[in-house]
Amino acid sequence: MSNGITVFDLTIDSARLTKSEVMWIRIAIALSGILAIVLAVLMLTWPQKTVAIVAVLFGVYFLVTGIFRVARGIFAAGTSAGVRVLAILLGVLLIVAGIVTIRNPLNSLVVLAMIIGISWIIEGIAAIVETASDSSRWFGIVFGIISVLAGIVVLISPLESINVLVVIGGIFLLISGVIQLVQAFTFGRALKRLAGAS
């Protein structure tokens, strides 16, 4: 039985972690998921009235997830060096995007849209490559395909797609948030059951 979990683009094995590390990873994944869901609800409820607010919230989300991705890229075990480097680069890109967006949300909307498109494509490719060989991780492949397609749409028409991006981003983040909450709930539980049975 596998004790690992794929958090979009990296596999983290709970068997290699202490109880404290497992707890903090679960908390981090859950917080990221909750933030994604809250942002998704705002985007889907008020798509036109909350463009500036959404830009700032996207900046915060990028900053948090960027830091988390860099940390995962550095500390994730059992993952190829190429995937870890890709995760770190994506994390740095998200951190930069987050800082720029928070400082100047309105003037950076088009740039933000393009950064979102690029990051979604990179994230989608990474998820597909990492999970394609394991049929039990189907959500990673589905997430990757959706991420790549959404990224392509945004890059083709960044200016015209800003309002549409709010809706697409809301749906995307809602799915992402739900998946992360499920992962936060299940991460390390197989190891806990094995420890209890022994």
Q: pTM value?
A: 0.47
Contact 65, 92 (CB under 8 A): no
Residues 49, 153: Cα–Cα separation, whole Å = 22
Contact 41, 169 (CB under 8 A): no
Number of domains in the chain: 1
* Helix, strand and coil in the chain, % to nearest 5: 80, 5, 15
Report the chain's C-alpha Rg in angstroms.
17
Q: What letter represents residue 24's amino acid?
A: W
For residue 174, give its domain range.
4-197
pLDDT in tens, the chain (198 residues): 444 555 444 455 555 566 777 777 778 888 888 888 988 888 788 776 667 776 787 788 888 888 888 887 787 666 677 777 888 888 898 898 888 888 887 666 777 778 778 878 887 887 777 766 555 567 677 778 888 888 888 788 776 667 777 777 788 888 888 888 887 887 766 545 544 544
Contact 184, 29 (CB under 8 A): yes
